[in-house]
Structure 1
Amino acid sequence: MITLLADGGATEIEGPVVPHGTEVLGWTRKPHGWCRDEMCVPSFRAAAAESAEGVDLAAFAGLLGREVVSDGDEGVIAIGEPAETAPGEAPPFEELEKLRGTKVALVFWASWCGCRYDLPAWEALHRELAGHGFSVLSVSLDRDPGDAREWLDGVTHPAVIDADGRIAELYNVINVPTVVWVDEEGRIARPQDTMTATDTFRSMNGLSSERATAALRRWVVDGEAGTTLRELRAPTGDERRARLHARIAAWLLRSGRTAAAGRHLAEAAALAPHDLAVRRGLMPLQGVDPFGEEYFKVREELEAAGIAIYRPLPDWQEDAR
């Protein structure tokens, strides 16, 4: 038996080749091909993943444009999300779909980030602008849900804890705080930006919360998003693979297999050294202080390489440093 990490869950399967007649990643075999809702992979394409023994899971995922990372020694395989959605469409997940018809600020944060102190300000904006058809939806990147819950006590806005990193993968979030604006029709109004709701750490990030929240209010009240860029910045193949190594590492750490997890963490860092959502986000599971020496070593490494910690710089922040 091996463990399949995909679509937000962990499932035990018999092996990397799935027996015929079995649903694969939510797709069902029909006479003309593999189908999911209205979408189908025609038989002539699916043949590349099929054999007399069954359906090769990794090959089938490749047909769907999904990255695969496996560890045969540890008995685990991780399959990523599709490379992209329709242009301009906000990748769907359950909590966001419930807010269709409402403008949404997706606020990515974590307990290991100073942005946790911004949550009361985001809650205040949520309450202030609710009458204009607006909602904050906060997404914690904490791998241990218990680390996030204490900071969510008393909030009324919708909140989700992205413990397996799936939503961060869907939205290509490499650090927090990151905010994405989604309009009433589920389309991107403003892609991933570093955005703060208070000036608590302005000395470190150089960002003006006053400018940012004023821009948000203009969008909510007047419909002016202030940008012509309406698509998410897409991840590279290396970034996508790094997140899968991180997903396997988190699973291994929870199982107490620290040495094996370390190999995947090293691979993730090599593939995407700038992805602090992975490198810093997994420190608590390793028993490492995410505010301590190891984190500042990573910062120094990135700064020496000319890689900005907070990026991209939003339009409204350009002269705020």
Structure 2
Amino acid sequence: MRYTVLAGGGSEVLDAEPEPAPPGPADERRLLAPLDAPVLGWERRPHGWCRGDACIPAAAVAGIEHDGRIDVGAFAELQGSLAVADHENGLLAVMPLPDTRPRGGAAPDFALRGPDGALHRLSDYRGRKVALVMWASWCGCRYDLPAWEERHRELSPHGLTVISVALDRAVEDARPWIDEAVPAHPALVDTEGEVAALYDVVNVPTAVWIDERGRVARPQDSQVATDLFQSMNGLSAEASLRALRRWVREGDTGLPAGGAAPGFRAPTAEGQRARAHARIAVELHRRGDAAAAENHYRRAAELAPHDVTVRRGLMGLRGEDPFGDAYFALREELGAAGIPVYRPLPTDASAEAEV
């Protein structure tokens, strides 16, 4: 059977066969691929599996090779990834599982394009502070983009670059809002959910501050640039701007001192599995199979009920209004379960008082 592999910004074809159905969810069935064909971009050689100059020693994969085949899911785990298969439709989604990174750890690098097609890597901006801002056209935070551009223009001479990332499944969904902002900053679109996965973005707006060395200075934080929806989110654009200016000009992240500051939140296996199901759902919608896509949406919601970027982000594809009843029902559900919709970080009260 042929599987289309959805990984990173592209896709490939994998010849493989699922094992007989065991008890449990269908997506947890093992997928076995022959050793004499490429698997997830790697090829079997006498001394191991290789891709370019990188090789995984034969001894490391001995336990997942059986009768001339390799366990694809276990092979993905060796590379720090997670694989979810749709055996009926021949789809395999592969998502990264980054290591837990404490505060001050290296920010995961990525490469994304903007509507103009230009490719930007986070690592291109080493030597400057970066405010990485995640938003979406299905969120009221789309109105904040011109204000983020204003912050970029004000603080760019002081060493800051704002990089905005739209968590939209199509460039055309984000384009009108990017065009309206007329950004001088890199305005990118994460159509495959790559940055959302690397940075465990469970709702927007979310901002991550990254220092000149490419290390996380302030992890995932709910931040706004306007107060248009303050009655709903309780967030202050003025406080966000003060904190950003203080960090850029003085190096003060505003996080509590004494080891109490939160660390970078790495994704969980359940969360990444949910994102893999969401990616398969999007691909099935693109193919016109709404019924099959719905199965994956529901599985994603079961695995990560707290992930608003998945649940609200797919409402449009499901024929629901992400600004209407479906969204407010989701907010009510999360509130009843004690799950926060927004996740602002604590700040150093003494630092705030000095401003």
TM-score if structure 1 supplies the norm length? 0.91
- CA drift at 1:206: 1.1
Mapping of residues 32-181 of structure 1, within 5 Å: 32-34=47-49, 41-84=56-99, 87=102, 88-94=105-111, 95-153=121-179, 154-181=182-209
CA distance in 1: counterparts of 2:129 and 2:43, whole angstroms: 35
- CA drift at 1:192: 0.2
Task: Report if the CA contact (8 A) 1:193-1:314 is conserved.
Answer: no
CA distance in 2: counterparts of 1:115 and 1:230, whole angstroms: 24
Would you say how many aligned residue pairs link Structure 1 and Structure 2? 319
SS state at 1:3 partner:
strand
Q: Does 1:281 align with 2:298?
A: no
- CA drift at 1:49: 2.8
Task: Report if the CA contact (8 A) 1:109-1:141 is conserved.
Answer: yes
Query: Percent identity between the aligned chains?
Result: 54
- CA drift at 1:26: 4.6
SS state at 1:130 partner:
helix
Q: Which residue of 1 aligns with 2:264?
A: 232
- CA drift at 1:179: 0.2
One-letter code aligned to 2:172:
G
- CA drift at 1:196: 0.7
Task: Report if the CA contact (8 A) 1:141-1:163 is conserved.
Answer: yes
| Alignment root-mean-square deviation, CA | 2.3
24 and 89 in structure 1: CA distance in 2 versus 1, 3 angstrom threshold: farther
- CA drift at 1:60: 0.4
Q: Which residue of 1 aligns with 2:3?
A: 2
Q: 208, 222, 230: which one pairs with 2:250?
A: 222
Return 234-243 or 180-189, whichever deviates more: 234-243
Q: 326, 331, 338: which one pairs with 1:306?
A: 338
| Per-residue deviation, residues 125-155 of structure 1 (Å, max 9, x unmatched) | 1111111121010010111221100000121
- CA drift at 1:69: 1.0
| Per-residue deviation, residues 248-287 of structure 1 (Å, max 9, x unmatched) | 1111111111111111111111111110100000111222
220 and 26 in structure 1: CA distance in 2 versus 1, 3 angstrom threshold: farther
SS state at 1:83 partner:
coil
CA distance in 2: counterparts of 1:255 and 1:51, whole angstroms: 34
TM-score if structure 2 supplies the norm length? 0.83
- CA drift at 1:247: 0.7
- CA drift at 1:288: 1.7
Q: Which residue of 2 aligns with 1:203?
A: 231
| Per-residue deviation, residues 14-71 of structure 1 (Å, max 9, x unmatched) | 2354454655435455655445688653322211233453433222012223222111
Task: Structure 1: state its 5+ residue gaps.
Answer: none
CA distance in 2: counterparts of 1:64 and 1:28, whole angstroms: 14
One-letter code aligned to 1:282:
L
304 and 128 in structure 1: CA distance in 2 versus 1, 3 angstrom threshold: same
